Amino acid sequence: MRAGFILGELGTGLRRNLSMAVSVILVTMISMYLLGLGLLAQRQVDTMKDYWYDRVQVSIFLCVDGSQYAACGGKATTSTQREQIKAQLEQMKPPVKDVFYESQAEAFKRFKEQFKNSPLAEQATERAFADSFRVSLTDAGKYDVIVSSFQGAPGVGRVQDQKQLLDRFFAFMNAVSWGAIALSALMVLCAILLMATTIRQTAFSRRRETGIMRLVGASNATIQLPFMLETLVSSLVGATLAMGLLWATVRYGVGGYLSKALVDTAFIGMTDVIAVAPWVVGGVAFVAVLTSWATLRRYLRV
């Protein structure tokens, strides 16, 4: 009887305050979607770090005629110097994992392919590129070993570490993910305020029924539970819709479009959405119950 009464009150309350319930659902959905995006963005950064740091290469660019690097002196690297650099790299295994030589023509061809849709590809000439050694490391953190050995060496123009470029990119991605989380926190605050307002209005509209329940000896829990359940149900519906949006984003956006456009990059998957789900749904339930309890303690008076 008590369970049936509470469920009946829950249904009646949701019908009476349908517009406010829909507002809570929508605000919760948007805030939790943004929070989920922020959490997934962080997981994407971690996934890309694991993927790319294992493939980080150090590039040792050699000298070409007219090079502006001080170590080159305007002269191109000789074949003897080139062979000495290669032999020294081969002797450094480990931490050197693999060594690949890329000629000036190959560097120019790769640039033309990468920037085929850019005006840069039409303006570039082969003389603007230098041949280089691409060095794969067993540990990306051992970049300093290569720098100390080859920076300023005869025939070496400069040494470039891809990890430094990736670090700047990942720092930007982290900033974006934290920005999404901060925006979601603002939306959560809006959801909390909307929940509190909804409960206040609902409690005021039912003050007569509440008074009667008090007179017949109903406990505080019996009176407050329908209000809390209304807020909880609306919030959980919003969180469920948010998870649906996150699933669609990862399934069709990341897994469908990005994974096909960027085939050489590791992306998050549905397991990451499942991992984020308890935090999103559990967080919504906690906020809804806590907001309901605090609001009812203050405003539910007879």
Per-residue three-class SS string for 101-133: EECHHHHHHHHHHHCCCCCHHHHCCHHHCCCEE
Q: How confident is the model at residue 229 (pLDDT cuts 50, 70, 90)?
A: confident
- Taking the C-alpha atoms of residue 62 and residue 77, their distance in angstroms, rounded to an integer, is 6
pLDDT at 302: 44
- pLDDT of 224 higher than 90: no
- C-alpha neighbours within 13 Å on the C-beta side of residue 204: 8
DSSP conformational letter for 138: S
Q: Where are the alpha helices (DSSP H) in 18-154?
A: 18-53, 79-90, 104-114, 120-123, 143-150
Structure tokens at 289: 């119950």
Q: Which one, of 83, 87, 86, 85, lies nearest residue 71 by Cα?
A: 85
Average pLDDT, the chain: 78
Encoded tokens for 251? 């399934």
Give the CA distances from residue 130 to residues 3, 69, 109, 116, in Å, rounded to whole numbers and listed in that order.
78, 12, 12, 19
> pLDDT at residue 64 above 80?
yes
Residues 50 and 44 sit within 8 Å (Cβ to Cβ) = no
Six-digit token string for 88: 């020294």
Q: What is the pLDDT of residue 118?
A: 60
Q: Is 157 exposed, middle or buried (0-12, 13-18, 19+ CB in 10 A)?
A: buried
DSSP state of 142: G
Share of the chain above pLDDT 70, in %: 76
pLDDT given for residue 1 in this prediction? 42
Evaluate if residue 218 carries a pLDDT over 60: no
Is the confidence at residue 207, as pLDDT, over 70? no
pLDDT tens-digit readout, 127-166 = 878 888 988 877 766 777 887 888 888 888 888 877 676 6
